[in-house]
Chain A
Amino acid sequence: MAHLDRLSGNEAVAVAMRQIDPDVMGAFPITPSTEIPQYFAQYVADGLVHTELVTVESEHSSMSVCMGAAAAGGRAISATSSAGLALMYELLYVAASSRLPIVLAVSTRALSGPININNDHSDAMGARDAGWIQIYAENNQEVYDNYVQAFPIAETPEVRLPVMICQDGFITSHAVENIELLEDEEVKGFVGEYNPEHYLLNSREPLAVGPYDVTHYYMEHKKQEAEAMKNAKAAILEQARRFEALTGRKYGFFEEYRMEDAEEAIVVIGSTAGTAKATVDMLRAEGRKVGLVKVRVFRPFPGEELARALKHCRAVAVMDKSEGFSACGGPLFAETRSALYDLESRPKLINIVYGLGGRDVSTKDIAAVYDRLHHLAQTGQVGEVYTHMGVREEV
């Protein structure tokens, strides 16, 4: 039995953590994810969880705590943002390559500089190649639902990879909205007991984790990791299926919104998808054939599936909430364009970098993107492929 509440995105994550009752949390605060360990510390103090809360002096250490705990055989969690995620960078790779199924909540924020505490995806996108599964949320409900699904995905024996559960810092992390929560027992039942095959605290089996890997073995281990990431696709869909059976809420690699006959579409990640859906509704009411694809799972990237979803469109704008400095577009654009390459006929594609450092995105901004796509579809003139939305400039 679900019950209704109203929670911020951060509190929703903390509630999911409490319901899962993991073994260890490595905790270090950073805006805008600070509330997560703050709420969780209260649960620990109130005896609502049995978790060992380890407060450390940096994110390098909070992730190290998680790795030690996970290698020991426990469920380990942390939460971070921006520079905190950057300080974990080295450990992110070690956690993934050591195949430790840690779950990290990321309230995404710009990665300085110039120094800025507001939302964009540059922190999480910077960690996209670290070997972590990355699942992004549009709102508080989704980040809660994604969090509940995270451990079963991470712990799938064919996967054994850590998971980042991302939401937009402030925009959803600090916005109070309605939410449907599962009962504690339902979450515990869904997540289940964690019984790793190998763990350091097993006195019957001595175990070495993370040994030095010489050249003769390194590539084979990386190949294993790459295969595990491919296997994650099936695990993500399997847990989505179980979750739908429990809640009725449907999840996949991405959400297609009014895409059936869409000629012009936007591909986007996170909270902007909600604003874009409202815009799609407005334009549909005017008879425009517009649609939206909201990418939920960025790692593993659902390239073939995304290509199928977009192939009938005439023009597509891929919107990146991070600047990759490739000089030819953001990371979501690069992946999407690559995914479309194998199609016989492809939609015209543009990239729009938007919303950096908390720059607000309204329905009017999104409508302007669809107008540009419409013009592009009509004239076939793509113009500048890689542009930045709403930037002041001399014309």
Chain B
Amino acid sequence: MSSQDMVEIRWHGRGGQGAKTACLLLADAAFSSGKYVQGFPEYGPERSGAPITAYNRISTERCGIHSNIYEPDYVVVVDEGLISCVDVTAGLKESGAIIINSSRSPEELRPLLKGYRGRVCTIDANRISREILGAVFPNTPMLAATVKVSRVVDPEKFAKDMEESFHHKFASKPQVIEGNMRVLKTSMEEVQG
């Protein structure tokens, strides 16, 4: 197995925020585009609000490694507050990027990232979600921003696949599909850095 074409992503979130769901949705999206995927959370007792980690490996060949990810290509921070209590850039490759849910700009956040010199991206996932859906569900915007930044899946194909899965998932309440698709597209447009 060659590691060159494998992309490794680490998600940082809080219990109950949907980081694990976003991680599994990304695995779904990558699977739909013909990739080999892994999506798995680092488990412990489930405690709402406590920091949690989840991982993706996405590759053109099956990956047999079943360890956590120590040198990710991308890190996704679903809750900005985690930056001060979790070493989010640990092992993060400088050729990769960190994607943070924040209303602040990448320049404002970089000083908080322990000298990380790679790409810093931000997306105001809470605001986008609140404006379009009327409530804070940061995982869909974070997923969209991650796809846009990492291009681990073709963004257009991703949007199309997600629309299909929304039709399936929200078959009984089709009125929310349009909003979720707007969240997705807005997030891909607004991600900075």
A-to-B contact residues, CB < 8 Å: 6, 32, 117-118, 138-139, 168, 170-172, 174-178, 271-275, 277-278, 281, 358, 360-363
B38: chain A residues within 8 A (beta carbon): 175-177
- Contact of B68 with A by CB under 8 A: yes
B19 → A minimal CB distance (Å): 14
A114 → B minimal CB distance (Å): 13
Which one of B40, B45, B70 lies within 8 Å of A175 (CB-CB)? B40
Contact (Cβ within 8 A) B40 A274: no
What are the interface flags for B2-30 relative to A under an 8 Å C-beta threshold, 1 for contact and 0 otherwise?
A: 00000000000000000000001001100
Which one of B24, B43, B63 lies within 8 Å of A170 (CB-CB)? B43
Task: State the CA gap A358–B65 with chains docked (Å).
Answer: 15
A118 → B minimal CB distance (Å): 7
Contact (Cβ within 8 A) B43 A275: no
Contact (Cβ within 8 A) B43 A139: no
- Tell me which residues from 37 to 51 in chain B have a Cβ below 8 Å from any Cβ of chain A: 37-41, 43-45
Tell me whether A138 and B39 are in contact in the complex, defined as CB-CB below 8 angstroms, given that A117-B45, A176-B27 are known contacts. Answer: no
A32: chain B residues within 8 A (beta carbon): 43
Which one of B37, B65, B70 lies within 8 Å of A278 (CB-CB)? B65
Contact (Cβ within 8 A) A171 B31: no
Return 20 A-B CB contacts under 8 Å, by A number. Answer: A6-B31, A32-B43, A117-B45, A139-B66, A171-B66, A174-B40, A175-B38, A176-B24, A176-B28, A272-B66, A273-B64, A274-B63, A274-B64, A275-B64, A275-B65, A275-B67, A278-B63, A360-B68, A362-B70, A363-B67
Which one of A118, A168, A175 lies within 8 Å of B39 (CB-CB)? A175
Task: State the CA gap A143–B66 with chains docked (Å).
Answer: 15
Contact (Cβ within 8 A) B31 A174: no
Contact (Cβ within 8 A) A281 B62: no
Contact (Cβ within 8 A) A360 B67: yes
- Contact of B36 with A by CB under 8 A: yes
Task: State the CA gap A274–B66 with chains docked (Å).
Answer: 6
Contact (Cβ within 8 A) B66 A175: yes
Which residue of B has the minimal Cβ distance to A5? B31
A358: chain B residues within 8 A (beta carbon): 43
Contact (Cβ within 8 A) A281 B27: no
Tell me whether A6 and B64 are in contact in the complex, defined as CB-CB below 8 angstroms, given that A175-B39, A178-B36 are known contacts. Answer: no
A360: chain B residues within 8 A (beta carbon): 67-68
Query: Closest 8 A-B residue pairs measured CB to CB?
Result: A274-B64, A175-B40, A271-B66, A362-B67, A176-B39, A6-B31, A170-B43, A278-B65
Contact (Cβ within 8 A) A174 B41: yes
Contact (Cβ within 8 A) B39 A178: no
Contact (Cβ within 8 A) B31 A278: no
Contact (Cβ within 8 A) B64 A139: yes
Interface core residue of A118, A175, A274, A277 (most chain B CB under 10 Å): A175
B65: chain A residues within 8 A (beta carbon): 274-275, 278, 363
A274: chain B residues within 8 A (beta carbon): 63-66
Which one of A118, A139, A175, A272 lies within 8 Å of B44 (CB-CB)? A118
A277: chain B residues within 8 A (beta carbon): 64
- Tell me which residues from 56 to 106 in chain B have a Cβ below 8 Å from any Cβ of chain A: 62-68, 70
Contact (Cβ within 8 A) B1 A361: no
Contact (Cβ within 8 A) A6 B66: no
- Tell me which residues from 117 to 164 in chain B have a Cβ below 8 Å from any Cβ of chain A: none
Given contacts A177-B38, A178-B36, 8 further A-B contacts (CB under 8 A): A170-B41, A174-B41, A178-B31, A274-B64, A274-B65, A274-B66, A275-B65, A275-B66
B6 → A minimal CB distance (Å): 10
Tell me whether A172 and B66 are in contact in the complex, defined as CB-CB below 8 angstroms, given that A117-B45, A177-B38, A281-B1 are known contacts. Answer: yes
A175: chain B residues within 8 A (beta carbon): 38-40, 66
Task: State the CA gap A272–B65 with chains docked (Å).
Answer: 8
A18 → B minimal CB distance (Å): 19
Which residue of B has the minimal Cβ distance to A282? B3
A138: chain B residues within 8 A (beta carbon): 64
A172: chain B residues within 8 A (beta carbon): 66
Contact (Cβ within 8 A) B37 A362: no
Which residue of A has the minimal Cβ distance to B40? A175
Task: State the CA gap A278–B69 with chains docked (Å).
Answer: 14
B24: chain A residues within 8 A (beta carbon): 176
B36: chain A residues within 8 A (beta carbon): 177-178
Task: State the CA gap A174–B63 with chains docked (Å).
Answer: 16
Task: State the CA gap A171–B27 with chains docked (Å).
Answer: 16
Interface core residue of A177, A275, A358, A361 (most chain B CB under 10 Å): A177
A176: chain B residues within 8 A (beta carbon): 24, 27-28, 37-40
